Amino acid sequence: MDFFNSTSFLKIGGIVLAAVGVLGFLGLIGPTPEQSIFGSFWWFDNLENFAHLLLGVVGLVVAFYLPMNLHKPVTLLVGALALFFALYNLISTNFLGANLENPADLVLHLAVGAWALYSALNKKA
């Protein structure tokens, strides 16, 4: 499986994001630093858990049920969204009430954004 194409990004990223959302709601990586297996270094509050779960489900729906010609634009959008949150995290650790850990969330959003944009723009895929 090529990890660097839009469809693979949506499938793998969708599974990971949905899992992160569910694990957050179960208390393994949130909703408080005391409950996170990563402690105060990295945890997701319930707003983040909801956003991750929603984005994961949307990614999976797009990957499995929508035409392939929509995979690239959705992957580009996810990449831009991830990079937005990485840049936003440079100036604030709060977005509409959701907690953004720094540097953990910043690094994660940069990595996801780079993976998404590379996957969408990869000419070999």
Q: Could you tell me the pTM of the whole model?
A: 0.90
pLDDT of residue 1: 63
Mean pLDDT, all residues of the chain: 92
pLDDT at residue 31 is higher than 70: yes
- CA distances, 39 to each of 34, 73, 106 (Å): 6, 36, 17
pLDDT (average), residues 64-74: 97
Q: What percent of the chain has pLDDT over 70?
A: 98
- The pLDDT-based confidence of 125 (bands split at 50, 70, 90) is low
Comparing C-alpha atoms, which of 62, 53, 75 is closest to residue 122?
75
